[in-house]
Amino acid sequence: TGPSGYTSTDQNPVLPGATAEAGPYILIVTANGCPSDPVITQVEIDDIPEVNINGTLDICPGEATTLTASAVAPAVFNQYAWSSGQTSASITVSAAGTYTLTATTATGCVATEQVTVVQNPAPVPVINDATICPGASATLTITPPVAPAPAYTSYLWSAGGVGASITVNPAT
């Protein structure tokens, strides 16, 4: 017998289209015409587990990022399998690509999530050349990137400037 009044005398009953219900299931077996005492087992239905992947998804050439699995409550995972072959909750990657995580709970419920890590190209700045006469100055200016390249977000000149251009004077 089972929840909602279900009963069967089949050895391995299967109900097409039926879904498992939480609750007690009772088993009585018969051998040589003699029934066993009832054996009761309790079935619980776990929530569908969810997992998130956290980490920086945009990296620069030569950089790495750490991708970390985090369970969405009430899920608790005890096994991790990444598409890269690693089996820990956190992995460090330095290559662009899609990383898929399959996380498994102690009861065998599975959650899957994937993220795509993008490796942005390094910018290639273009600066004007300058020839300076003694006592004069020159302005060095970076040429803005051509679309669709992204705009520059910071500048750091060896002479200490932090803008798109600096004025230089020869030492006297």
The 10 Å CB-count burial string (b at 16+, else e) for 157-171 is eeeeeeeeebeeeee
Cα 57 to chain center, whole Å?
9
CA distances from 39 to 3, 12, 55 (A): 15, 16, 49
Tell me, what's the pLDDT at 51? Answer: 96
* pLDDT for the residue 52: 97
Going by C-alpha positions, the residue among 55, 51, 99 that lies closest to residue 78 is 51
Among 115, 124, 125, residue whose Cα is nearest residue 93? 115
Neighbours of 99 (CB within 10 A): 21
Whole-model pTM above 0.95?
no
Structure tokens at 76: 């608790």
Tens digits of per-residue pLDDT, 31-42?
898 999 999 988
pLDDT at 172: 61
**Cβ neighbours of 80 (radius 10 Å):** 17
Give me the pLDDT at residue 149, please: 77
Alpha-helical regions (H) of the chain: none
Report the largest interatomic distance among the alpha carbons of the chain, rounded to a whole angstrom.
115
Q: Which residues of the chain, if any, have pLDDT below 70?
A: 1-6, 15-18, 172
Predicted local distance difference test score (pLDDT) of residue 1: 58
Per-residue pLDDT, 17: 65
